[in-house]
């Protein structure tokens, strides 16, 4: 039995904006079984610490965690169910991983869109807004923020709710 409205939620925010904590509250509010899809790769000590901090903040109560740095659309297809809510944290780390592995980015984004549209249950996506600073010197960083910006637009169009979080406070952009 489906207990929530259909559709996906997109939670955007800056670094340490409280976006993950806000997304976790949304997830808890659904009353569905909580699945966490972590896209981050612990490639160095700092990243390992950041991932660990997120785990501590989230707590272990009732979460089932999946690590999925690349095959996010497939993982959503496999995991989503009517009685589950999936929290994907975060899209920007997924984009980073796709770039580092040389994947076809637009194709991956289309696969994700297709997965989102057909997934049962609820989906909550967290992502970093990265396009509001000075143009980066570095070409890869410029490409990254172009990809991230395009993905955010694509996901915001599919989502039934979009939030922008700053200082822990959500601003509803859609829904």
Give the residue numbers annotated as catalytic, written as ranges. 54
Residue number, 22 or 32, with CB nearest to its own copies: 22
Q: Is 11 in the site for its own copies (CB under 8 A)?
A: no
Among 5, 118, 157, 160, binds its own copies (CB under 8 A): 157
User: What's the number of CA atoms in the CB half-sphere (13 Å) around residue 116?
Assistant: 23
d(CA 54, CA 76): 21
d(CA 169, CA 21): 10
d(CA 106, CA 112): 10
Among 2, 100, 149, 160, binds its own copies (CB under 8 A): 149
Residue number, 32 or 112, with CB nearest to its own copies: 112
Place of tokens 């979009």: 162
* Closest-CA residue to 63 (of 34, 89, 40, 37): 34
Place of tokens 């929530």: 4
Q: Is 15 in the site for its own copies (CB under 8 A)?
A: yes
Residue number, 1 or 153, with CB nearest to its own copies: 153
Q: Are 170 and 17 in contact (CB under 8 A)?
A: no
**174 among annotated binding-site residues:** no
Q: Are 124 and 8 in contact (CB under 8 A)?
A: yes
Residue number, 15 or 56, with CB nearest to its own copies: 15
**Span near its own copies by CB under 8 A; candidates 15-23, 25-33, 74-82, 108-116:** 15-23
Q: Is 123 in the site for its own copies (CB under 8 A)?
A: no
Q: Which of residues 27-66 bind its own copies (CB under 8 A)?
A: 46
- 87's CB contacts (< 8 A; 6+ apart) are 23, 24, 27, 34, 35, 36, 37, 124, 126
**Span near its own copies by CB under 8 A; candidates 58-66, 73-81, 102-110, 154-162:** 154-162
For the annotated binding site, the residues are 13-20, 38-40, 55-58, 67, 89
**Residues in touch with its own copies (CB under 8 A):** 10, 12-18, 46, 129-136, 139, 141-142, 144-146, 148-150, 152-153, 155-157, 162, 164, 166-169, 171, 173-174
């Amino acid at each position: 039995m489906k207990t929530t409205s259909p559709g996906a939620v997109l939670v955007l925010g800056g670094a340490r904006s409280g976006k993950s904590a806000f997304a976790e509250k949304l997830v808890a509010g659904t009353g569905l079984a909580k699945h966490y899809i972590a896209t981050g790769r612990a490639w160095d000590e700092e990243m390992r610490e950041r991932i660990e901090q997120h785990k501590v903040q989230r707590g272990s109560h009732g979460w089932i965690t999946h690590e999925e740095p690349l095959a996010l659309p497939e993982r959503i297809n496999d995991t989503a169910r009517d009685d589950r809510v999936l929290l994907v944290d975060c899209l920007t780390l997924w984009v980073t991983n796709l770039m580092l592995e040389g994947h076809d980015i637009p194709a991956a984004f289309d696969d994700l869109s297709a997965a989102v549209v057909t997934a049962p249950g609820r989906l909550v996506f967290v992502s970093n807004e990265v396009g509001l600073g000075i143009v980066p010197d570095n070409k890869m960083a410029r490409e990254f923020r172009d990809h991230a910006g395009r993905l955010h637009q694509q996901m915001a169009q599919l989502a039934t709710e979009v939030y922008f979080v700053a200082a822990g406070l959500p601003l509803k952009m859609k829904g």
